[in-house]
Chains A and B, each alone.
Chain A
């Protein structure tokens, strides 16, 4: 078979089909072929299996609504450690074929396979099908793939034929099908941007790419200029294969039962500050700006930003700022269902700091404490030692309808192999 694919660059976008639900079905044979929803523990169903989607369920239903409207859908607890484990395996398997891989989120990644056709002696289509089949065999989960000349086109492609599909963006497909799609199908153009595009008489992708380059440069901001190029088949989005240094780090967590208890809310913020501090030290940065937020069912209230004099990765500093901000926004009459904490203004920590602003003994002691905690965590698992203010809430690890991962006796570390339950 001669390849129809004629572009010099070959980018794959590989997307897990109903990823969270698929991970649960892969690890529990009881759930296979059945309509399931994931998210039991938070009271909101966040992901559905294809069987459930076939019944007409859409995103984000409260558990009570789901039970009322779709009683046949099975509710399962979500287990993010399990999804991360599958996500890492997903990347590792793709890395066996090609080394230029960029993880876009937990359930999707880009792979640049340009030139592999000559090295492996087979077409790009075949390479894509081989990766798809390797993933299915090893993980028991199906993936949809788009093959195109740019990241953006490949990503639109992977969404064209779900589940377990391969969409090859040939010139023919581009003009006959893809360009006719509504502009909202482009990743990066959300429901807020669509009306803006409509003002410019842009309703389909074709309308957008027909605009002259100069026009787009004048009328649109940089992300849209990039999309305009990418949609025309000119790759401008770089591959980021290394560790990405983020602009900000945030943590949000929703509780099972909404609460107005400030102690509980603060202990959640304390927990967030620890998680954020851990991420900061992993990427070797300190933060200078802090905000916190609380969310009711209807709305999220976010505090003003607090600017620190010196960057920090100390959970205690982050928490004490968050606490001050928290008291400014909290309303004791409202019931909250989630807390939010975000730090930004990330900077590399200055090694010279000791020279002029000579560290107090206190700070040095604290550094020593943080170092010790880290070495204990390396050995016994993250969360072995937590701030006393975080310990107000011990989360129950109650699992509904799912096979949990195998934990060590401390209950902190998980076995790197997913557990499939009993066999007889």
Chain B
């Protein structure tokens, strides 16, 4: 039973949902859904899962925690206590607002002193929440430019500043169209 419970848990980790009855049949090679139903009843008794009002399965185990073992120091046997640690994926960490995030590729060295190089990717977020000092992507004359957003207190005007002395500041003629704010920079070394 323990083993079967583990298989169900593995299914949940892989698919981010519980299996249906017909999928249980498939996994355990049952010929009928009745057999699946019996297994479900047993697993429910073991406290591995529950049925909701409509009879669909819901997990009672904590699904996203991958069990990690504590550090083992070389030489001395150390008491290893199993710790439950909540984990997240890299993109959960990098992306705050998934629905508002986009990717751009950097061309040219205009932001090199900020550590953003030609060929890097920038992860940006479309947001109302942009302030001077942020690195932003702005729409200038129909193409995207990557710069610091600055504010001139004397003239109360917003402008764009490169992180490279060879580039001039950009003062827009009309309003400044900030497209998005840079959230992170991605550099992949193993491909183009």
Contacts and interface: CB of A to CB of B under 8 A. Distances in A.
Interface in A30-73: 30, 32
A137 B144 contact: no
Given A423-B122, A424-B107, A137 B127 contact: yes
A354 B35 CA distance: 14
Contacts, number: 90
The A interface, classified by DSSP as helix, strand, loop or mixed, is mixed
A422 B144 contact: yes
A284 B26 contact: no
Given A29-B144, A424-B144, A417 B102 contact: yes
B144 A421 contact: yes
B102 A418 contact: yes
B100 interface: yes
Contact of A419 (B25, B33, B103, B179): B103
Contact of A420 (B32, B98, B100, B103): B103
B39 interface: no
Interface string A194-209: 0000000000000000
Given A284-B20, A371-B26, A415 B103 contact: yes
Contacts of A355: 31
The B interface, classified by DSSP as helix, strand, loop or mixed, is mixed
Contacts of B84: none
Contacts of B100: 137-139
A96 to B, nearest CB: 8
A256 interface: no
Interface in B106-128: 106-108, 110, 122-124, 126-128
Contacts of B191: 409
Interface stretch (B2-10, B70-78, B135-143): B135-143
B22 interface: yes
B146 interface: yes
A140 interface: yes
Interface of A: 27, 29-30, 32, 89, 92-93, 137-140, 284, 349, 351-352, 354-355, 371, 406, 409, 415-424
Interface of B: 20, 22, 25-26, 31-33, 95, 97-108, 110, 122-124, 126-128, 137, 139, 142-146, 179, 191
17 contacts: A29-B143, A29-B179, A32-B139, A92-B98, A138-B100, A351-B22, A351-B25, A351-B32, A351-B33, A409-B191, A416-B98, A419-B102, A420-B104, A421-B104, A423-B137, A424-B106, A424-B146
